[in-house]
Every structure is written in structure tokens, then in C-alpha cells.
Amino acid sequence: MDRYEEAIAKSRVPADDTVVAAEVNKIMENVSEYATPEVYKFLFNSIDLTTLSTEDSQESVTHFTQNVNNFDEEHPEFGHVAAICVYSNFAEVVSSVLEVTGVDVAVVAGGFPSSQTFTAVKVADVALAVAGGANEVDVVMNLGYFRDRNFEDLCDELIELKHTAKGAKMKVILETGALKTAEAIRNASILAMYSEADFIKTSTGKIYPGASPEAAWVMCRCIKEYYEQTGRRVGFKAAGGVRTAEDAVKYYAIVKSVLGDEWLTPELFRIGASSLADNLLTAITGEKLNCF
């Protein structure tokens, strides 16, 4: 048994789908208590505001970034989103246009969204993005390696990408909609964290179903167990299909219930989204806003 198989075997995170569903249902019974303007504002401040369109261009990404600048000037009372997330080739555009202090430049890189390319290509992609100004890099776990239980190559690749990213945060996307089961999501979470991930993220939002409360619960339990074992805090990011304030509050409730208030900070909790930003602002103010 290698070190990765051993780490998985030692985990006590529940991997029975029925048990996971029951635990999530318990949390959802009280989720309405978090539907408050204060929580909505926190969720807005935790958004990775995302554009990942085939039609993205230098002009469109410039406009997307300028919207964040304009919002900060016009509505300082709401604070700002946590990051702007774009394809890796637009890192330099965002970093050159962005004027708001505290908003990170995030990219998807490394063969996004399938992770099906040469490791050398992934390394070059991450390196170029960081050189262009990215300080957060979202990469997809190689699920081909995962399916073959080739954990050594899977983790070696992620570790190499993390070292290439240098000081940039690395978020590892598990693609939970492809993994499907609680057991697979648990195992992938463990592998990502032992590969130096700064965050584990649910989904790409491109091919498979996006985030689900059940996947989030398993991931957060893994983060808690890993912290208890190592003392290292890993962040959680929900992405894919999180569009409404009601959707977002579910993930807030899960993080609060499983990980506690220490994780309720944009340093450790993110939501990848686009339309969610305006929907949260509308929920806060009671007026329809179209700022992004």
C-alpha cells in the first residue's frame, strides 16, 4: 500500500451516499436562518466572478473587469468580489485593468476543463498565467489517472503544478459530477489535499453536473479531517450551477456546520459564479440590480 492508498484507507469520513444525504438534510432543515442580508453580503464578497466563454476576447474581458472597478466606485457599501476568474490567456488583461485592491486575479489552467493534455503543457500554461499576473490558479484533477488508481502520477502532476504556481493559490477541481459517489469524492479530496492544494473545488461547470450540497458536505468533512491531522487549513470552493441566493446559502450553511466560523472568510470559502453576484445584490437591496 503506497502513501496515498494509506491516507485514503485511514480516512473516517463517511462514504455511504445514504448517510451523506441524511446529514445534508439535517443541515438543510435550518438553512433559512442564514437567509439574511449580512450572509448575502458575505457570500457576495466570497465570489470568484467568472467568465469562461468561447467568445471571450481581450475587449470583453476588459469590460468584465471594468465592471468590477465601476462597482467599487459606485457601491463601496457592499465591498467587492473575492476574485475575477478567466481563462489563463487573459490573466494579463485582468491584472492590467483591475484597480480594486483586494480582488485577486484567478485563472483556469492546465488543460481546463478536461485536464487531458501533456503535463508539460499544463506546467507551461500555469507558468504563463502566473507571469501574466494570476495569483490564483484553478486546475482540474486528472480523472483518467484517478479511474486507473494511478495516484502516484496524479499527485506528482498536481504537486508540480503547485510548485510552478509558486506563491499563487492552487485550487484543485475534483469534477464531482463525474465522480458521482461519496466514496470517490472523498478519495479525490484526500489526494488533492495531499498534493498541496490550497483549495478543493467542486466542478468546472462545463461538462458534468456542477456543485451539489452532498459533494460539498463530503469535501468539507475531508478538509476538517485533514486539518485535524496536519494543522493545515485548505479552502472550499463551490462552482457550477450556483446561481441564486438560495443556492449560495446552502453552501454557507454546510461550511458553517461542518468547518465552523473559521472557514467563513474569503480566504477559505469561495463560490465560482457569474449571475450569482447580481442575484445576491438584489436579495440584499430588494431591488433588481444588473451591475455585472
Which residues are known catalytic residues?
Answer: 138, 201, 237
Q: Which long-range contacts (CB under 8 A, 24 or more apart) does 22-30 make?
A: 23/217, 24/213, 24/214, 24/217, 24/254, 27/213, 27/217, 27/253, 27/254, 27/257, 28/213, 28/250, 28/253, 30/253
Alpha-carbon distance values, 45 to 31, 51, 186, 277, 280 (Å)? 20, 17, 28, 9, 10
43-46 long-range Cβ contacts below 8 angstroms, 24+ apart: 43/245, 43/248, 43/249, 43/252, 43/271, 43/276, 43/280, 44/78, 44/79, 44/81, 44/277, 44/280, 44/281, 44/284, 45/79, 45/80, 45/81, 45/82, 45/266, 46/82, 46/266, 46/269, 46/270, 46/271
Q: Report the sign of the C-alpha dihedral through residues 108, 227, 153, 204, in that order.
A: negative
End-to-end CA distance of the chain: 50
Burial class (CB in 10 A: 0-12, 13-18, 19+), 160: middle
Integer Cα distance of 48 and 277 in angstroms: 9
Q: How far is CA 229 from CA 11, 194, 213, in A?
A: 10, 11, 24
